[in-house]
A and B are shown apart, each in its own frame.
Chain A
Amino acid sequence: MTKATRDISALQAAAVLVSTIIGVGVLPLPLFAVRAADTGGPLVTLLACICALVGLMFVALLGMRFPDESIIQYSERLIGKWPARAVGLCVIVFFALLTSLTAREFGEVVVTSVLKQTPVEVTVIVMLMLAAISARNTMTTFAYIHFFYVPLLLVPGLLIVALSLKNAEPLNLQPIWGNRPGGMFDGIVTIAALFQGSFVLTIVIPAMRKPAKALVVSLYSILIAGGLYVVIVIAVVSVFGAEETRELLWPTLELAKATSLPANVLERLDGAFLAVWVTAVFTTLLSSYYLTSQSLTQLLRLQEPRIFTFFLVPFVFVIAMVPANIVKMYEAVVNVGRIGLMLTIAYPGLLLLIAVLRKKGGSALGR
């Protein structure tokens, strides 16, 4: 990839963000939401979307100030070389972790529900290899890939929501703030963490045709992806009720199971849904993997961007295999996600503040 290619349209950039955000996190999402504030789940999800939007806007504004660089590069000019590199390394490690946990999470879903005898290692390595092979492409192809898959993510999600609406009970959604909204803040943080893949915007901006559109792009992408999140939570809670949702490990998958296509073409959609969802997980995985390897080359100032694509696989794979069981894994997913919020929301916020105060970079509306 040569640095000069600015080939990504705003639409493609939004597609990258949408398909990155929609991923394996959708499967347990209603459980997280309902745990936080039973019937207030949709509200929690909505607040989490806003929270994620704020973080993404920091990244977008920074990107508009430094339209030719990614966060790894401009942070050095803002807070000094070594502090920036240290945090940059944290970001890389975090996204490596995110990649491995995503792969593992989906591996567990597949092994639990469809391929019961297949070792989870195999499903994880297959997904990782798929991401690694595709991460060798240029930024333009990377954007094409995301753009191509967006309909494949939105359609099945919305289809299942639409088909399940006939079983919905509005009573299940009331009161909208929940009977026991005690865990609301925890829930917002947990769900906002599911949006973290959108950090990939920082490496998309330098390849965008019009970086000034980054803010609009982030707004629309959160609108679409967050909208889908909220709609799915609403559908799950209104069909199952908050208490039943609490008993399901992957409520969204259960919703697919409870849905059948009209005229019984397919009697249950869980297997098919899971198969289609492979693409959603793949795009998420691709983004975080691409971000990791690209950031690593930028941090080490290497010329050849593809150098790490296969080199990273074993590390990510080993990390993915660390959690002993599915309960530990979800503990890790939640905890890592929360720590990650420091890196993906607080850190860009801090950088933006410094940039504004020190008047570094072009004005936000410069281009």
Chain B
Amino acid sequence: MPLFGNRTHLQSRRSRRKKRTAGDAGTSTGGDGGGSGGGPLDGRLDELLAKVTHVFGTDTTLTVRKFRIFGTYPAAMLYFPNMLDQNTLNETILKPSMSVPTGLDPSEWSAPELLDRLASEALWHSDCRRTEDFNDLIEALLHGDTVLAAEGSEAALVVGTRQIDKRGIDQPGTEQVIRGPREGFVEPLGPNIALIRYRLQAAELRTRQLTIGRKTRSKVVVCYMEGLTDPDLLAEVDRRLGGIDIDAVLDSGYLEQFIEDNQWSPFPQVQYTERPDKVVANLLEGRVAILVDGSPLALIVPTVFNQFYQAVEDYTERFMQMSAIRMARLVALVFSLVFPAIYVSVISFNPELIPTEFAVAVAGGRAGVPWPAVVEVLIIEISMEVLREATIRLPQQVGGALSIVGVLVIGQAAVAAGFASPITVVIIALTTIGSFATPAYNAALALRLLRFPLIIIAGIFGLYGVMIGLILIANHLLSLKSFGVPYLSPLVPADAEGMKDVLIRGPLWWMKRRPAFLKPKNPVRVGSEMTEPPETKSRKQEGAHSPSTEKE
């Protein structure tokens, strides 16, 4: 796998860091074995096995298979059988090292060079390396590799035999598209990298691997485009990832919370996706993707606000239709934030704004409701949140039924019971549906959260209060940055090229340059002679080898 191409480089990086963090990571690698410690191997097999068993204690899954290499040299093979395919093990390691291959005369091999020669001349396995460090050896075992040690050799062979069962590549559950690729990331890192690489067959695609998590030793891969991504951005990503010190990284979400700029902001400053095509599009814009082993969600940085209402179809479907739909989505987004607050302030403070007939009718609808509009809206909103959360948690078979029951029956009953006015129910229903129209779940979450303070301030100051609240939110957005990029780019600061992809989605041939706020080293995206006329365009596409650059 190309992924492990520069493994040694990274490991030296890691060991440097280990020293810096006062040996914390080092002792943890050695396990809780206490006195055994790390250190180099001394060539005595019994000693080594004793140390290993000491480290793993009474763990029953570790297998130690003693045998003699070519029937002569005593050796042992250590591995966790559940993490690899035993057939491979037998065929590619055990068999070649037990039966003397034809044309070789192993009798003259000396003990110290035994393993090296074994690796280079006998073993039928591509991923083989030598290690002299005990800690490294333990780590390799934990990763699912097989360790081959021989009496008299001061090193051990680590054979990459890891094979974890994974689910098949499936449709992305949370980012469904009507038109566009159907593949989503899976949990293991390897297939995910492959999903990216087969879409982006460019030599400039670079991956860097880090290990984060004192206990989980999770592999984290940073992907970027060499010669395109801003090097400062890359350095910043490395710096932030390097500073993380936590025992477990179970999902990319753990990382997000350590690398985002402002942890107190309700707005997500890191985008996540389970779509490889989205990752590729973002890489090509000059962003950096971060993948974590065990998580089907890749992180994308830097992230700006407009990404949260963009969907994949915006780029795969034709531009005019999708521009209109994007604007509808934007309306839904604004609705889901301010609709209830505006309702409260109009009903309780400025009823003169709505038409007289309607005002009189609204008054009629509210006549039996015992509490003020702000309390009514809050009650219904909170029950709506409860319903929604319940719908997510319930098993799928029951969930659909519950949501229908919840919305129809409870809403109707609440009105009939004089618990809420029918218009409130309509408003809240519209708001809730509006928040579902936001493609990014985490951004919708932020707006859902901010809705409540807005409703409360609307209950105190009316429209004036809503405006104050919106100004506070807008100012916060304006001061927010994601990896040094202003959050509202390309709207503020204005960027003419980026503006083509904010409210509307410009035609692909029109967005000639990559967004400037990402400071790409190579800004040109579409060939300069790509213009509108369809006949020239189609002729060009046949000849062009550069990938048509769809974004996100």
Contact = CB atoms under 8 A, between A and B. Distances in A.
A11 B494 CA distance: 9
Nearest to A122: B461
A275 B454 CA distance: 14
Contacts of B464: 110, 114-115, 123, 274-275, 278
Interface stretch (A211-219, A263-271, A323-331, A354-362): A263-271
Interface string B288-329: 000000000000000000000000000000000000000000
Which has the most chain A C-beta neighbours within 10 Å: B461, B478, B479, B491? B478
Which has the most chain B C-beta neighbours within 10 Å: A12, A144, A279? A144
B49 interface: no
Interface residues of A, number: 31
A149 B473 CA distance: 13
Mostly, the A contact residues are helix
Contacts of B349: 114-115
B492 A144 contact: yes
A137 B479 contact: yes
Interface string A90-110: 000000000000000000001
B353 A141 contact: no
Contact of B468 (A130, A137, A147): A130
A110 B464 CA distance: 8
Contact of A267 (B355, B468, B471, B474): B355
B493 A279 contact: no
Interface in B450-483: 461-464, 466-468, 471-472, 474-475, 478-479
A123 B492 CA distance: 29
Nearest to A149: B474
A271 B472 contact: no
Nearest to B491: A148
Interface in A226-278: 264, 266-268, 271-272, 274-276, 278
Nearest to A141: B479
Which has the most chain A C-beta neighbours within 10 Å: B349, B463, B472? B463
A278 B353 contact: no
B350 A130 contact: no
A134 interface: yes
A102 B57 CA distance: 75
A366 B466 CA distance: 47
A340 to B, nearest CB: 26
Contact of B492 (A148, A268, A282): A148
28 contacts: A9-B493, A114-B349, A114-B350, A114-B464, A115-B461, A118-B461, A123-B464, A126-B468, A130-B468, A130-B472, A133-B475, A137-B478, A137-B479, A144-B486, A144-B492, A147-B492, A148-B474, A267-B352, A267-B355, A271-B350, A271-B353, A271-B463, A274-B464, A275-B463, A275-B464, A278-B468, A279-B471, A282-B471
Interface of A: 9, 11-12, 110, 114-115, 118, 123, 126, 130, 133-134, 137, 141, 144-145, 147-149, 264, 266-268, 271-272, 274-276, 278-279, 282
* A-B pairs with lowest CB-CB distance, top 10: A275-B463, A278-B467, A271-B350, A141-B479, A144-B478, A275-B467, A144-B492, A148-B492, A134-B475, A137-B479
